[in-house]
């Protein structure tokens, strides 16, 4: 048994769980890939191109937005979604470091 005390920042752990949950879904990854190929896009373009229901698309976009993976900006009557690449890079770095330690 180690003498080291375990200290976990619960806020960072909660955010990490939310972020990984958002990125672990195949359909959300497909949506991210589509947004990446278009740089900036609205929900109508996403669900039409990927042949999804509007409500399902909106739910997945909300999860990605709440995790900080997507940024949204109002442009007229549309909400334009863009990828927050800083968050994705940090997530990839964190996962890579964790996997290297196993």
Q: For 24-33, how does the pLDDT look when each residue is reduced to its tens digit (9 = 90+)?
A: 999 999 999 9
pTM for this entry: 0.87
* Tens-place pLDDT, residues 59-93: 999 999 999 999 999 989 989 999 999 999 999 99
| Contacts by 16-22, CB closer than 8 A, 24 or more apart | 16/94, 18/66, 18/67, 19/67, 19/68, 19/69, 19/87, 19/91, 20/91, 20/95, 21/63, 21/67, 22/63, 22/64, 22/66, 22/67, 22/69
Domains observed in the chain: 10-101 (1.10.10.10)
């Amino acid at each position: 048994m180690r003498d080291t005390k375990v200290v976990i920042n619960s806020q960072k752990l909660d955010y990490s769980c939310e972020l990984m949950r958002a990125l672990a879904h195949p359909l959300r990854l497909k949506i991210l890939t589509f947004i990446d190929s278009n740089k900036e896009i609205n929900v109508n373009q996403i669900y039409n191109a990927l042949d999804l229901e509007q409500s399902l698309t909106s739910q997945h976009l909300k999860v990605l937005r709440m995790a900080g993976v997507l940024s949204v900006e109002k442009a007229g009557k549309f909400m334009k979604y863009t990828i927050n690449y800083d968050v994705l890079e940090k997530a990839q770095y964190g996962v890579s470091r964790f996997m290297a330690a196993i």
